[in-house]
Structure 1
Amino acid sequence: MAEDLPATRAALAEGRISYRHAQAIVQQSWSIPVEGLAAFEQALLPSAEHLTVAKLKHKARLLRERLHPETITARRARSITDRTSGVTPEYDGMATLYLTTGAELVQAIFHRANDLAASLQSPDETRTLTQVRTDVLSDLLIHGVTPTGVGTGVKATVQVTVPVLTLLGHSEEPGYLEGYGPIDPDTARDLASKAPSITRLLTHPETGVILSVGRDRYKTPKAMRRFLRLRDETCRFPGCNRPARGAELDHSHDWGLLGETAHDNLAHLCKPNHALKTQTRWSVAQQPGGILTWTSPTGREFITEPATILPTVLPTGPPKAGPPPVGPPTAAASDLPDDPPF
């Protein structure tokens, strides 16, 4: 901080960021060459003043990939040779099993275990979701399935966003893995090639992605839910990192108070925080770009940013002939399940 990140040191000294925020900035900057540190710090530091440490790390990863002079493809090729696994003994008869490999594999493993664990929960289940997920992973690794047969034929799923020119092989822009961040274009193309279905999001007026149904309906259309899940990635309450895939969609301006079912009036909230927003004096206002400004019962404001900035220009006019315009993303993912209206 004294030599390479002076603005971070100044912000820490002035109390605008915490020690853990400064630690996160330093750790995320280690792989960036010295000549790129100033731009990285300048772009990241303003967000450090209102983001939690976990959210700051996520944003720092995105910035690092964008500003790093070496391609992510070259760094992935070098790093994947260091994949490893092992066991660390712990206290009281416990041990930790660790696995370090490609982000897409780790995310798929975790999502499969988490979905199976959620399917096993019931009113009679005394274990927490974390405990059930840990037991499921143990059963799958030792027996292939759980003792009751859960897991047979269940496949892991991931959601990856791929810029259309990267998908076509005309660009080396990184893809984006839900729950992780940027991934190298070769891995993104490989995941897209194996996807059971492709969903195009905001790539062309032909897509028909719905961004608003106004007051015509309360339930959020599937295409809009997919867009919002990609945008939010996690619960949007301050400090919460529960994944959006298991959260509820909340109308920032309540439906009962004439709020619309639209992309700029919806955000993911986990069940506990959805109840907190509904039943207490917490309030939220949604700003352009999916930014949420929360106000606590004491009047203090908190800002939460979306994980992914997506264009939100509504399609106008008839579809045009020819290829789609350059730049916007293409998403490869299996269909999202129909969930209850919230």
Structure 2
Amino acid sequence: MSAALPEDDAAKIDQIRDLEVLVCAAQARQARLAAALDRSQRARAADRGEPAARQGRGIAEQVALARRESPHRGRRHLALATVLERELPCTRAAFEQGRITEWRAMMIARETACLSLEDRRSVDRAIAGDPEALESCSDRVVLHELRKLAARLDPASVAERRRRAEAERHVSVRPAPDTMAYLTVLLPVAQAVACYATLKVEADTAVATGDPHSRGQVMADTLVARVTGSTDETGRPVVPVSIGLVMTDQALLAGAHDTAHIEDHGPIPAGLARDLILAAGDAKTRIWLRRLFTSPSTGELVAMDSRQRLLRRNLARFIRHRDQWCRSPWCNAPIRHGDHVTDWIDTGITDAADAQGLCVSCNHAKQGIGWRARPSPGDTHTVEITTPTGHTYTSHAPPVVGLRRGAYQQLWEGHWALVG
């Protein structure tokens, strides 16, 4: 039974504050544990004769699984933990006292990464030497102070960091509410401003000539049209159906409301899926149909219609449709590798039952010493993962068209029993 809430409002605020301090201190403890795990795992790998470059393989992924987060976040947590322990003692002390959040500790580590160890510790003392003063500042104030100190101590390293950052330009996509998506482009500032200015000029021109759409809508449509090169007779962009759209035959042909699925995005309403297909047909875009077969009880993909002789290509496509995202628990990364759950050298089998989709990071981690994976019996395609510390995690293939078995499905079925 949970403790009773205080009646006094001041006491409520005091407890909120105390719990915030406790959360920060607990995260600092997690960081110390992660750094200790890193040391012990590396030492054991060294004792086994592992090359230095491979001794840290899979450690961040274990941290991520324990924290129920993605491997990307696991790497960030582990990197912060090791930096706090070795190079930022004042920041670590403030963190352990619960005076700063994990995000602020990470910000200090990130903004000083380009400095030498001596300069980094100088900035650490200047920023976090007085934990009470550090606690009272906003994140923006701390960020500006960090950048000013770094530029004064080592301007050459700051310039080199900027050049390295330009090499990391990339494009990413992630789901947004209401069947939208965020397309994010990381560019050098001059290129980003130039792209935005070009789209803005196009929007201003369209609005000035009577286009009823808003500037934001025109900018978005112009971006899609120029990138895809596909528009209808009005100049509006048309999305080709080669994006990988999965829907039931009833949703496609009979107007059913079964949720459809877009590869690398997730579920979308059946009406939107039909609109995409109709728009592609009106624009005379070629549409390829391939039959997928699902389990009637779970909604999981179980087979794919094949008209080609290259099993590898069709199997890889099937795995991407079935698994949707990297199969490691809590990893939201796109699938990049088709992986044998049980190493091919041990079984010689290449089929859907012994295959899974993984991101690059998780596939490499799985090759580390002490990691094991095996198919496990279940209503859906199930993989059991065992880490070097003996902890076991289970991964289930998600339903593509339907609800996951359990409370949500029971709620949905109960709803239809009530109103049907």
Q: What is the TM-score with the length of structure 1 in the denominator?
A: 0.45
Mark the structure with the bigger radius of gyration: 2
Pick 1 or 2: higher relative contact order, CA cutoff 8 A, min separation 6. 1
TM-score, length basis structure 2:
0.37
